[in-house]
Amino acid sequence: MRLSNSFLHSLNLDGAGDRWAALRAIMVAGVIALMFGVVTWRASVVAMGGTHEASVAEKSVHVAAQRSDIVDRNGELLATSLTIDSLAAAPQEIWDAREVAEGLATVFEDLDVDQLIARLEDPNRKFVWIRRKVSPRQRQAVYDLGLEGLRFEKEVQRIYTGGALAGHLIGFTNVDSQGIAGLELAHQDRLAAGGKPLKLTIDTGVQFALEDELKFAAEAFHVKGAAGVVIEAKTGAVRAIASWPAIDPNRPGDMTGDQRLNRAMGAVFELGSVFKPLTVAAALDAGVLRPSETFNVAQNIQIGAVTVRDRHPISSIASVTDIIVHSSNVGTVKIEQLLGLRQHKEFLDRVGLLSRPQVVYPGAAAPILPVEWDELTGATISYGHGLAVSPLALAAAYTAFANDGEMVRPRFVEPEPEDEIARTRVVSAPTARLITDMMRRTVTDGTGTRADVYGYEVGGKTGTAEKPGPDGYDPHRNICSFVSLFPTSRPEYVVLIVLDEPEALEGEGKTAALNAAPLTGRLIARIAPMLDVAPVLEKRRSTSDNSSGVRAVSDKRAL
């Protein structure tokens, strides 16, 4: 503030007293000018975002390294990182902690005022986080308060562009942008280093279709949970994998424990009759079973205190193919008895069902093995009871049948050019071909007819297993599954659907033939064109010959 000449001349400077009075007047005017300047400066600080706060923030700004993006096989963005503000405080610069805390509580309604006051008044604290990852509106509201000692620090916010799409697989990060679940955790070092995107094997279109069908299953059959897997048989590339209920990695705080459970990889189930082709394959490959052999399946089998019976008894004499096509428990147990417990167990180990799946994914569940391996154990495992495995593990085992007897290890990340595909021969090519043919017959003439999709030669096997409980197996609580290959003349993909405790549709039962099988047909009809699977010229059968899966479970949506 500059003093004008008129102001100076108005002062009476005659005499010492008058001069002192004039000097005091000048000093007062100077103080007023200084105060005015401070107020003006402070107002400009608040309006511009705080020159003083900005200088402090510059000294302590914390911006994490740019985390690599995650993309699907086609380069579609799945996860990326954006710079965002977080609110902090320098306690030594705050004169009135209560004023600051109560002011901030008007912006952040869930703020604990007393707790923040205690932290701001703690003499040992030089820095206090108040709120991480604030919105632009909250940031402006804080500026408008004009409080001292506050600063905004730049941090990185992980954004998942597809929302819940592939949420269980991708996982999520914590507030410090460190992976704590899923592939975000599995590839933490690679992603934190930045650089080129992490390219996954999944296809977002196929992934969406799988999740959409699981959601439909939840609505149609009121399932407790569901899981699905789509694997490229020749390479092990997982084109889709999903668990229902789904999770949105953008909102990890909203997830319940049930939602967090990854039923495709992190849970195990006794999957029922989908084990029967494995039992038959083991016996065929061991040379103890001929494809042309027949069995009398008219009578139940008693093993200790357990009676093995067929849900739907077939004719007294059944071929090996009949046993698979019509899902005979009795026939399967007779084949397992030819195989023997030792060879049976060795085969299960060879296809990876007795150990944790060899995948780069945290939390992949190990199987639940029998307490004792004996005659009864071998018999019940032959038709899918007594050994609990993850859906991913079972789908991986079936890649052997689609790949001329070689099982391939599943993978979620596209390989580098120098990477080799991990293959293990588990059966001979002729055995794999026989099983594939039996699976096709199961869809054309057996329990899997509702999974058939014209032009794609679907082969499959149903599985309906009672869930174990404290008082034994509960006939009212089922796990229903359907494992499939397509097209069976040149298998390219393995698809598995698992439904946990589905309810029956009106007028129908609740077996896999009536829920998981038609759901698989709907899914294959949607994804085969996306995966560029060329249709196979085949004779169209009448509706009476085949209750098409696409028609069997319908809703108002277009496929």
pLDDT band at 554 (very low <50, low <70, confident <90, very high): very low
Nearest alpha carbon to residue 237 among 427, 106, 395: 395
CA 521 to chain centre: 23
Q: How do residues 498-544 score in pLDDT, each as one tens digit?
A: 999 999 887 677 899 999 999 999 999 999 999 999 998 777 665 44
Q: How do residues 135-154 score in pLDDT, each as one tens digit?
A: 999 999 999 999 999 999 99
Residue 27 to residue 33: CA distance in whole angstroms: 10
Spatial CB neighbours of 472, under 8 Å, sequence gap ≥ 6: none
Spatial CB neighbours of 447, under 8 Å, sequence gap ≥ 6: 325, 326, 327, 461, 462, 511, 512, 513, 517
- Cα distances (Å, whole numbers) of residue 309 to 283, 362, 379, 386: 21, 39, 12, 16
CA 125 to chain centre: 40
Token pair 């990852």: residue = 133
Quick check: is 273 catalytic? yes
Nearest alpha carbon to residue 273 among 231, 218, 332: 332
Catalytic residue among 273, 327, 328, 484: 273
pLDDT score for 542: 54
pLDDT score for 160: 98
CB burial of residue 397 (10 Å; 0-12, 13-18, 19+): buried
pTM metric for this prediction: 0.82
> What count of other Cβ atoms lies within 10 Å of the Cβ of residue 405?
21
Per-residue tokens: 442? 């199961």
pLDDT score for 527: 98
Nearest alpha carbon to residue 293 among 320, 333, 329, 324: 320
Mean pLDDT to the nearest integer, 301-327: 92
pLDDT mean across residues, the chain: 87
pLDDT score for 65: 60
Q: How do residues 449-488 score in pLDDT, each as one tens digit?
A: 999 999 999 999 999 999 998 888 998 899 999 999 999 9
**Cis status of the peptide bond prior to 313, with omega within 30 of 0:** no
Q: How do residues 263-308 score in pLDDT, each as one tens digit?
A: 999 999 999 999 999 999 999 999 999 999 999 999 999 998 899 9
Residue 525 to residue 248: CA distance in whole angstroms: 27
pLDDT band at 422 (very low <50, low <70, confident <90, very high): confident
Judged against a pLDDT cut of 60, whether residue 44 lies above it is answered with no
**158 with 30: CB under 8 angstroms?**
no
Single-letter code of the amino acid located at 198 = L
pLDDT band at 352 (very low <50, low <70, confident <90, very high): very high
Rg (CA), the chain: 34
- Cα distances (Å, whole numbers) of residue 174 to 127, 171, 177, 185, 194: 20, 10, 5, 10, 17
What are residue 385's phi and psi, to 5 degrees?
A: -120, 145
pLDDT band at 63 (very low <50, low <70, confident <90, very high): low
DSSP 3-state assignment of 136? helix
Q: How do residues 66-87 score in pLDDT, each as one tens digit?
A: 899 999 999 999 999 999 999 9
CA atoms within 13 A on the CB side of 540: 4
Spatial CB neighbours of 202, under 8 Å, sequence gap ≥ 6: 72, 73, 166, 169, 238, 239, 240, 241, 412
Q: For a pLDDT cut of 90, what percent of the chain falls above it?
A: 75
> What domains does the chain contain, in order, with CATH numbers?
70-199 (3.90.1310.10), 205-252+264-552 (3.40.710.10)
pLDDT score for 59: 36
Per-residue tokens: 183? 């592939």
Spatial CB neighbours of 173, under 8 Å, sequence gap ≥ 6: 67, 158, 179, 180, 184
pLDDT band at 425 (very low <50, low <70, confident <90, very high): very high
* Greater pLDDT, 320 or 541: 320
Residue 536 to residue 274: CA distance in whole angstroms: 25
DSSP 3-state assignment of 185? helix
Single-letter code of the amino acid located at 105 = A
Pairing of strands 77-89, 150-160: antiparallel
DSSP 3-state assignment of 308? strand
Residue 288 to residue 210: CA distance in whole angstroms: 39
Judged against a pLDDT cut of 50, whether residue 167 lies above it is answered with yes
pLDDT score for 64: 52
Judged against a pLDDT cut of 90, whether residue 129 lies above it is answered with yes
